Amino acid sequence: MLGTSFAEGKNSLNVIRLILAAAVILSHSWWLGGYGPEPQPGGLKLGSWAVLGFFGISGYLITRSRVRAARPMDYARGRLFRIFPGLTLCVAVVAFIFAPLTAAARGNVYSLRDGLLYFVTNLSVGTPGIALPGIPGSLDGMRDPGSWNGPLWTLFWEVVCYALVGVVLGVLNTNLGRIALLVPFVAGSAFVFTLDAGWGPVPTPQDWPLVPILTFLAGSLVYLFQDKLPVNRVLLVGAAAGVVVAAGSGFAASLVHIPLSVLLIAGSLHFPMSSLAPRSDLSFGIYIYGWPVQQMLAAAEFEAHVPPVVFAMASLAVVAPVAWLSWRWVEGPALRWSRARNCRRQVSQLA
């Protein structure tokens, strides 16, 4: 069963997440590089597919973390130290290094006050109405002058999902927790289906966050039902077929969540990539630094001389060492401290 196989620890999730992070950078290349309309396989942008994949995997792993946490505070501390140290460094680098350098290189205006406002507001993990998307004047003349880090908006909704799972599984047992998460998943999927089918109101950008939230819930449900899911080729083929059917029918936003989550999570046990998985988890750093690095490359007009795939590869080559430094000196130490603190508390209780 999936739960037993996954507990053995040999999976390719780190590699899969790196691939998804690279897909986000490739997707953003069309927009930030000004290459025209981006390909949309299955009716969704490549970056949107990657975000759904991230949320599905996260739903599984975060639910696993909540179930295994000895106390709600241990769970909350782990989530806090996974996101905030790396995020704080990233918004500081953008506000006080990338933005003034880019503004100076292009002859634009940079205000330290505006940079400070960007830094402070984005510590809210992209909270709508609070986090400022850009630093006025620093990106003037660019294709997206108002945004220094477009992907940060997803962090707010990820934190919302963390809180939802934390509260539900903190109050209810596993069986009731399944029902408590299944109900909003089914209701949300039905609502999005009506939008896709044209039976409801016209979809707006404000409706989009519901889609990755549904994938997070799907990943969470995969964990809660994992002892009933066999890990075999039949499951993988069925999940892959479900993804293809959902994408081909035009209803990917409402129907793809369960099959995509199953495909990535169960597939991570079969794909021969576990030996390639780096010990460092660079996917978060690549995800949050990708857009700012691409903005800087576009400011240097690098994209004018290369096709979008080369622009994406160059962006990835620049952002990978930045992500490694973030993991090596900020994210990794913060996580180790958090885990060590939880272990010390558990040992003290047993003593």
Tokens linked to 182: 């299944």
DSSP 8-state class, residue 39:
P
Tokens linked to 250: 């035009």
Integer Cα distance of 162 and 245 in angstroms: 30
Structural domain boundaries enclosing 23: 2-350
Phi-psi sector, 51: left (phi>0), alpha (psi -120 to 50), beta: alpha
Cβ pair 253, 213 in contact under 8 A:
no
Single pTM value for the model: 0.94
The model's pLDDT over 57-98, given as tens digits with 9 standing for 90+, comes to: 999 999 999 999 888 999 999 999 999 999 999 999 999 999
Short-list 31, 287, 308, CA closest to 142: 31
Specify the pLDDT at position 252: 93
Specify the pLDDT at position 274: 59
DSSP 8-state class, residue 132:
-
The model's pLDDT over 100-132, given as tens digits with 9 standing for 90+, comes to: 999 999 999 999 999 999 999 999 999 999 999
**Count of domains for the chain:** 1
DSSP 8-state class, residue 181:
H
The model's pLDDT over 150-190, given as tens digits with 9 standing for 90+, comes to: 999 999 999 999 999 999 999 998 889 999 999 999 999 99
Specify the pLDDT at position 44: 92
Tokens linked to 84: 């905030």
CA angle 173, 177, 180 (to 5 degrees): 140
Integer Cα distance of 310 and 312 in angstroms: 5
